[in-house]
Structure 1
Amino acid sequence: MVPEWLQVSFRTLMAVLVLFVLTRLLGKRQVSQLSTFEYITGISIGNMAAYLSLDTDSHWLLGLVALVAWVTLSLAIEYLQLKSKKARDLIDGKATVLIQNGKILERNLKKERITSDELLEMLRRNSVFNIDTVEFAILDTSGELNVLLKKQYQPLTPSDIGMVVTPEKAPMTIIMDGKVLEDSLKRVGLNENWLNAKLKQLGTRHEDIYLAQVDSQNKLYLDPFDRQAQNTH
Structure 2
Amino acid sequence: MERWLVIDWQGIFIPSISVLELMIRGSLVYLALFSVLRLLPSRQIGTLGITDLLVVVLFAEAAQNAMARNYTSITEGAILVGTVIFWSYFLNWLGYKLPRLRFLNRPPLLLVKNGQLIERHLQRELITADELMSKLRQQGVEFLAEVKFAYMEADGSISIITSDSKTDAVAGQKQSDTELESVTEG
Using structure 2 for the length normalisation, give the TM-score.
0.55
- 1:148 counterpart = 2:161: yes
- For structure 1, the 5+ residue unaligned runs are 12-35, 168-215, 218-233
Give, in angstroms, the shift of residue 98 of structure 1: 0.9
Match of 1:72 in 2: 86
If each structure's strand is expressed as a fraction of its own residues, which one has the higher value? 1
Q: Which has the higher contact order (CA 8 A, sep 6+)?
A: 2
Highest Rg: 1 or 2?
1
The code of the aligned residue for 2:4 comes to P
CA contact (8 A) 2:110 2:121 kept: yes
CA distance, structure 1, for counterparts of residue 109 and residue 163 of structure 2: 19
Q: Which residue of 2 aligns with 1:125?
A: 138
The one-letter amino acid of 2:124's match is K
Q: Provide structure 2 residue ranges, at least 5 long, that are not aligned to the other structure.
A: 13-36, 39-51
**TM value normalised by structure 1:** 0.45
Larger relative helix fraction: 2
Equivalent pairs counted in the alignment come to 131
Cα RMSD for the two superposed structures: 4.1
Q: CA deviation at 1:73?
A: 1.6
2-side partners of 1:152 and 1:158: how far apart? 10
In 2, the alpha carbon distance for the partners of 1:142 and 1:81 equals 15
Matched, 1:62 2:63: no
Corresponding position of 1:136: 149
The more displaced of 107-116 and 70-79 is 70-79
Shift of 1:2: 5.4
SS of equivalent to 2:103: helix
Paired-residue identity, %: 18
Q: Is the 8 A contact 2:111 2:118 kept in 1?
A: yes
Quote how far apart the aligned CAs of 1:114 are: 0.4
Amino acid at match of 1:140: E
Do the aligned partners of 1:133 and 1:153 also contact (CA within 8 Å) in 2?
no
- Is the 2:146–2:163 Cα contact (8 Å) retained in structure 1? yes
Separation in 2, partners of 1:61, 1:163: 58
C-alpha offsets along residues 87-116 of structure 1, whole Å, 9 cap, x if unaligned?
A: 3x2123221111112211111111111001
- 1:1-233 aligned within 5 A: 3=4, 58-87=72-101, 89-151=102-164, 155=168, 157-159=171-173, 164-166=178-180
SS at match of 2:127: coil
SS at 2:156's partner residue? coil
